[in-house]
């Protein structure tokens, strides 16, 4: 299982750009053909939740697009499948005491101290992680989070991702020849850039399994037309 999950990270890392092509301080009001309002996502998931006392974890920090909204936090840890050098992370994010970046090869979360994180954010990352990988991440994250830690994770959900052309493009990156098989294969082998559509229901079952508390099934109901962001707490 560990080797499979390592291969999974390697397989999607070329696509896990995390905003490396975006301007340093620029917002894009609407991206992906008008489907994502990044300003509204910031207001829904970050603005009222991160303070000067916050200890932030970002999974898939990429080139630091979202990280720039956490600069006032007390501490920050970024995890990414690609190196900081590859992502030009420190060119976009000022080096500060308490700010760390780790390139990871698995979902063990060994880079994190127990009971150290009170805010978690991950966008456009877990859609590339299989159901087994997601389960492993949530299990290993639990002891790293403080009680009442606020967590926001964007996933892929078929009911919300209604764009047929987009689904066909995602399927074309895999070995599947029909959409049903592709959508049902939410725990299949890693392939470059593939998406896993296990959806809100199965994700919430994992939250229940590990003792998390669900707050909102979709915190970005109106700010992201295609993908839900689950809001939950430890």
Which pLDDT does position 100 carry in this prediction? 98
> Whole-prediction pTM value?
0.90
Which pLDDT does position 2 carry in this prediction? 57
Which pLDDT does position 193 carry in this prediction? 81
Q: Are the C-beta atoms of residues 191 and 175 closer than 8 Å to each other?
A: yes
Which pLDDT does position 186 carry in this prediction? 96
Which pLDDT does position 7 carry in this prediction? 66
Which pLDDT does position 3 carry in this prediction? 64
Q: Walk across the sheet containing 145-154 and list its strands.
A: 99-103, 75-80, 55-59, 117-122, 145-154, 229-233, 213-216
Which pLDDT does position 1 carry in this prediction? 56
Domain borders along the chain are 2-233
Which pLDDT does position 56 carry in this prediction? 98
Which pLDDT does position 32 carry in this prediction? 46
CA distance 194 to 180: 15
pLDDT in tens, 99-137: 999 999 899 999 999 999 999 999 999 999 999 999 999
Phi then psi for residue 24, to 5 deg, are: -55, -45
Q: Are the C-beta atoms of residues 224 and 154 closer than 8 Å to each other?
A: yes
Superfamily of domain 2-233: Vaccinia Virus protein VP39 (3.40.50.150)
pLDDT in 10s for each residue of the chain, 234 residues: 556 556 666 665 544 444 444 434 444 544 445 578 888 999 999 999 999 999 999 999 999 999 999 999 999 999 999 999 999 999 999 999 999 999 998 999 999 999 999 999 999 999 999 999 999 999 999 999 999 999 999 999 999 998 999 999 999 989 999 999 999 999 998 888 889 999 999 999 999 999 999 999 999 999 999 999 999 999
Question: Exposed, middle or buried: residue 33 (CB in 10 Å: 0-12, 13-18, 19+)?
Answer: exposed
Which pLDDT does position 36 carry in this prediction? 80
Which pLDDT does position 20 carry in this prediction? 40
pLDDT in tens, 128-165: 999 999 999 999 999 999 999 999 999 999 999 989 99
Phi then psi for residue 25, to 5 deg, are: -120, 10
CA distance 91 to 35: 28
């Amino acid at each position: 299982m560990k080797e499979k999950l390592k291969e999974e990270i390697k397989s999607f890392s070329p696509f896990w750009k995390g905003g490396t092509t975006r301007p340093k301080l620029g917002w894009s009001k609407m991206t992906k053909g008008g489907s994502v309002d990044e300003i509204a996502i910031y207001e829904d998931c970050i603005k009222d939740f991160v303070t000067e006392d916050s200890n932030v974890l970002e999974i898939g920090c990429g080139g630091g697009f979202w990280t720039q909204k956490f600069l006032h936090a007390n501490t920050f840890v970024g995890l990414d499948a690609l190196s900081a050098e590859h992502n030009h992370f420190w060119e976009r994010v000022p080096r500060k005491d308490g700010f760390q970046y780790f390139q990871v090869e698995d979902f063990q979360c060994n880079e994190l101290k127990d009971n150290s994180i009170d805010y978690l954010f991950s966008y456009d990352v877990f859609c590339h992680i299989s159901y087994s990988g997601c389960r492993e991440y949530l299990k290993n994250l639990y002891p790293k989070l403080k009680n009442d830690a606020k967590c926001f994770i964007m996933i892929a959900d078929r009911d919300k991702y209604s764009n047929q052309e987009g689904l066909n493009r995602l399927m074309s990156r895999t070995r599947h020849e029909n959409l049903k098989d592709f959508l049902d294969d939410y725990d299949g082998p890693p392939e470059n850039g593939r998406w896993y559509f296990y959806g809100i229901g199965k994700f919430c079952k994992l939250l229940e399994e590990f003792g998390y508390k669900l707050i909102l099934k979709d915190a970005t109901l109106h700010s992201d037309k295609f993908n839900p962001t689950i809001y939950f707490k430890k």
